[in-house]
């Protein structure tokens, strides 16, 4: 049982007060001449002031000191964060990475972010980056904040204990955390931790529309959890590490940034347990497109088209009749980056490792490996469980994704034999009658 307390809901107007300071939230106004307990009021905006009401997000933080009290930013060297999408020649091949390494030396979350691929530009608030983190040390007197966009964190190994300005929470494999643009957080770990980060620039994740599904289903809003206010009043040297326009910086200050005593608003960090996802699928015939498994979507300006969708392949029943049940062969105008939290992915049993990844770029042909094709074409169809004990996921994007030098070379995880998984596909054509 987790020690943390949460508020339930997605996109709600929340308010929270640290119980040590009852009445810390100003009543009836945001900016009293003097805030209760001598706190400072600070607004954190997640949208333009003038954004339509349905997209307008902001929170008011009541804190011991305002965030502005820090020394100048300097370059934070030695990271593998990169948004230099032209450092390599494009590679149209299907790509698969073996499991990424746990760190060889003590490294905290902020130091351990390695960009693998991405597109677009945080300056233009359009695009995404996909990172791998792999850390075994806690962030000591160090906070991280991303000026470029939102982080959707997918732990694959180890629990992350996250301290934020809004409160504390933990996130473990088969859960996700979303920390939105500008929110300061620190991560403590008690074991080696590894996972994936989907970063979207300048826009936010939302629940997908449900259309004819109706008012309920997929990820239900009440299952999203936001932490409650919990402040620390600590003096000493603290570092704020910031990702700003694709580069890392740090500054020093003489106190903890986690000094928010109370807050209210609809711009918050949150977590979600993937086992709560209500799965919808075909109960007659044929294979539904994987969009039925969308947990969260970050929409582009083009209707129905995502900068990034976060899609899962959860345990479920498979009951379709006279159907080739695994994923179909396809070429997609979207880019498909996949990861595996645990177990085996149904279309690629074997080669695709937990903690590894694959990328099928725009129009790159792919589909089940030959073993999967042969087995699924000949299996006796009845109700069966699929994906029990597994959780694969996909970041699907309308952008063409460029691979960084770390992703292509330095990580040394690309599997040169990936293409061989389709080698055995035989000709079954029976010829004209």
Ligand X SMILES: O=C(O)Cc1cc(O)ccc1O
Residue nearest to Fe ion (CB): 336
Q: Which does 394 bind (CB under 5 to 8 A by kind): ligand X, Fe ion, none?
A: ligand X
Q: Is the dihedral of CA 246, 251, 256, 262 positive or negative?
A: negative
DSSP notation for 56-107 = --EEEEEESS-TT-SPPPEE--S-B----TTSS----S-EEEPPPPPPSS--
Can 161 be counted among the known catalytic residues? no
Q: Which is nearer to ligand X, 147 or 288 (CB)?
A: 288
Provide the CA 183 distance to its chain's centre, in angstroms. 15
Question: Other C-beta atoms within 10 Å of 389: how many?
Answer: 9
In the complex, what is the shortest distance from the CB of residue 325 to Fe ion, in angstroms, rounded to a whole number?
15
105 is in an annotated binding site: no
Q: Which is nearer to ligand X, 57 or 332 (CB)?
A: 332
Number of residues assigned to the chain:
433
In the complex, what is the shortest distance from the CB of residue 311 to ligand X, in angstroms, rounded to a whole number?
8
418 is in an annotated binding site: no
Tokens of 283: 């109960």
Distance, in Å, from the CA atom of 421 to the CA atom of 338, rounded to the nearest integer, reads: 16
Q: Which residues of this protein are in contact with ligand X, per CB under 6 A?
A: 290, 327, 330, 332, 336, 347, 360, 366, 394
C-alpha torsion angle, residues 98, 82, 169, 40 (rounded to 10) = 180
83 is in an annotated binding site: no
In the complex, what is the shortest distance from the CB of residue 347 to ligand X, in angstroms, rounded to a whole number?
5
Residue 349 DSSP symbol: T
In the complex, what is the shortest distance from the CB of residue 409 to ligand X, in angstroms, rounded to a whole number?
25
In the complex, what is the shortest distance from the CB of residue 364 to ligand X, in angstroms, rounded to a whole number?
10
Q: Is the dihedral of CA 33, 253, 142, 120 positive or negative?
A: positive
Bridge partners of 255, per DSSP, are 235
Q: Which is nearer to Fe ion, 336 or 369 (CB)?
A: 336
Provide the CA 374 distance to its chain's centre, in angstroms. 34
Q: Which of 131, 204, 255, 287 is catalytic?
A: 287
Q: Which is nearer to ligand X, 290 or 351 (CB)?
A: 290
CA angle 84, 87, 92 (to 5 degrees): 105
CA atoms within 13 A on the CB side of 74: 7
Q: Which does 343 bind (CB under 5 to 8 A by kind): Fe ion, ligand X, none?
A: none
Q: Which is nearer to Fe ion, 264 or 366 (CB)?
A: 366
Q: Which residues of this protein are in contact with Fe ion, per CB under 5 A?
A: 336
Q: Which does 177 bind (CB under 5 to 8 A by kind): Fe ion, ligand X, none?
A: none
Residue 111 DSSP symbol: G
Bridge partners of 121, per DSSP, are 126
Q: Which is nearer to ligand X, 204 or 360 (CB)?
A: 360
Q: Is 125 left (phi over 0), alpha (psi -120 to 50) or beta?
A: left
In the complex, what is the shortest distance from the CB of residue 409 to Fe ion, in angstroms, rounded to a whole number?
25
Residue nearest to ligand X (CB): 327
Distance, in Å, from the CA atom of 364 to the CA atom of 379, rounded to the nearest integer, reads: 28
6 is in an annotated binding site: no
Bridge partners of 7, per DSSP, are 226
Active site residues: 287
Q: Which residues are annotated as a binding site?
A: 330, 336, 345, 366
Q: Which residues are annotated as a binding site for homogentisate?
A: 345, 366
Q: Which residues are annotated as a binding site for Fe cation?
A: 330, 336, 366
């Amino acid at each position: 049982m987790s020690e943390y307390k949460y508020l339930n809901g997605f996109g709600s107007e929340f308010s929270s007060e640290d119980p040590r300071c009852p009445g810390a939230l100003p009543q009836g106004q945001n900016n009293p001449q003097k805030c209760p307990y001598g706190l400072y009021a600070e607004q954190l905006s997640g949208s333009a002031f003038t954004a339509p009401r349905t997209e307008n997000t902001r929170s008011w933080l009541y804190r011991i000191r305002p965030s502005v009290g820090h020394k100048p930013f300097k370059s934070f060297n030695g990271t593998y964060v990169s948004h230099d999408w032209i450092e390599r020649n494009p590679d149209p091949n299907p790509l698969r990475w073996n499991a990424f390494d746990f760190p060889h030396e003590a490294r905290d979350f902020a130091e351990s972010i390695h960009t693998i691929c991405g597109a677009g530009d945080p300056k233009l608030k359009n695009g995404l980056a996909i990172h791998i983190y792999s850390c075994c040390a806690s962030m000591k007197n160090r906070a991280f904040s991303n000026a470029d966009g939102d982080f959707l964190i997918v732990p694959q190994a180890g629990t992350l204990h996250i301290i934020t300005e809004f409160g504390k929470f933990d996130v473990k494999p088969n859960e996700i955390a979303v920390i939105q643009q500008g929110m300061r957080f620190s991560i403590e770990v008690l074991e080696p931790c590894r996972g994936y980060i989907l970063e979207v620039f300048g826009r936010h994740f939302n629940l997908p529309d449900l259309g004819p599904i109706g008012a309920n289903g997929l990820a239900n809003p009440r299952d999203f959890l936001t932490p409650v206010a919990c402040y620390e009043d600590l003096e000493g040297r603290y570092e704020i590490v910031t990702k700003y326009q694709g580069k890392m910086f740090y500054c020093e200050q003489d106190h903890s940034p986690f000094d928010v005593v109370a807050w209210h608003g609809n711009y918050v960090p949150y977590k979600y347990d993937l086992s709560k996802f209500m799965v919808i699928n075909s109960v007659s015939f044929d294979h539904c497109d994987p969009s039925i498994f969308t947990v969260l979507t970050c929409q582009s300006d083009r209707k129905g088209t995502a900068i990034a969708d976060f899609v899962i392949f959860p345990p479920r029943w498979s009951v379709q009749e006279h159907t080739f049940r695994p994923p179909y062969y396809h070429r997609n105008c979207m880019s498909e980056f996949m990861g595996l939290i645990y177990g085996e992915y149904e279309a690629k049993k074997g080669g695709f490792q937990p903690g590894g990844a694959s990328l099928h770029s725009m129009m790159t042909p792919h589909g089940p490996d030959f073993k999967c094709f042969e087995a699924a074409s000949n299996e006796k169809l009845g109700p069966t469980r699929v994906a029990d004990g597994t959780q694969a996921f996909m970041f699907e994007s309308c952008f063409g994704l460029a691979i960084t030098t770390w992703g292509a070379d330095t990580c040394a995880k690309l599997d040169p034999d990936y293409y061989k998984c389709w080698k055995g596909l035989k000709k079954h054509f029976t010829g004209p009658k």
